[in-house]
Amino acid sequence: MDDTLIQRLFDAARAAREQAHAPYSKFKVGAALLDEQGRIHVGCNVENAAYPQGACAEGGAISAMVLAGGRSLQAVLVLGAGDALCTPCGGCRQKLREFGADSLPVLVADASGLRARFTLGELLPASFGPDHLKARPA
Ligand code: THU
């Protein structure tokens, strides 16, 4: 992935994070996804007074991608704050798996820049995905 593309994902995630609704945790997150058509889709976390109803940034970005017709993730960038890396939560890793291969690059950033790079396979090893539902016994 070239630097220009990473910068575009970074800028998109940083702008998305500005829109986060996180009055309870105060932990704002932005996510940017690159689809198979080279388009970028973004999401931010949206919390709720009924806490479990809150939604992660990655899920919002996936919904935006699907709505726009995208079905194959090429890259993901998640941007948060704090000392610890803002890696996708377990549920989001599985949501990414629906549209991404083990080799999918998952970049982690904060507002000052890129901090780490993983593959989805590293974050979610031996995962269960769409292929498991193909060619199953009758
Ligand atoms: N959050 C995300 O948006 N993505 C993640 O992968 C980790 C957590 C959000 C959910 C919640 O609004 C806040 O961060 C604190 O958990």
The CATH number of the domain holding residue 28 is: 3.40.140.10
Q: Which two tokens stand for residue 45?
A: 């976390």
Which of helix, strand or coil describes residue 112? coil
Residue 5 confidence (pLDDT): 97
| Residue 58 CA, ligand 1 centroid: distance in Å | 9
Q: For all residues of the chain together, what is the average pLDDT?
A: 97
Residue 7 confidence (pLDDT): 98
Cβ pair 88, 104 in contact under 8 A: no
Examine residue 132 and state whether it is found in any structural domain, yes or no. Answer: no
Examine residue 110 and state whether it is found in any structural domain, yes or no. Answer: yes
Residue 45 confidence (pLDDT): 98
Residue span of the structural domain in which 13 resides:
3-124
- Nearest atom in ligand 1 to 22's CA: 12
| pLDDT one-digit tens code per residue, 95-117 | 999 999 999 999 999 999 999 99
19-23 average pLDDT score: 98
Examine residue 71 and state whether it is found in any structural domain, yes or no. Answer: yes
Annotated catalytic, 58?
A: yes
Question: Cα–Cα distance between 51 and 41 in angstroms, integer?
Answer: 25
Q: Is the pLDDT of residue 137 over 80?
A: no
| pLDDT one-digit tens code per residue, 34-71 | 999 999 999 999 999 999 999 999 999 999 999 999 99
| Residue 138 CA, ligand 1 centroid: distance in Å | 39
CB-based contacts of 40, cutoff 8 Å, min separation 6? 8, 9, 12, 32, 33, 34
Examine residue 31 and state whether it is found in any structural domain, yes or no. Answer: yes
Strands (E), the chain: 30-35, 40-44, 73-79, 105-110, 113-119
Examine residue 28 and state whether it is found in any structural domain, yes or no. Answer: yes
Which amino acid residue places its CA nearest to atom 1 of ligand 1? Answer: 56
Examine residue 131 and state whether it is found in any structural domain, yes or no. Answer: no
Examine residue 118 and state whether it is found in any structural domain, yes or no. Answer: yes
Residue 135 confidence (pLDDT): 72
Domains identified in the chain, total number: 1
Examine residue 92 and state whether it is found in any structural domain, yes or no. Answer: yes
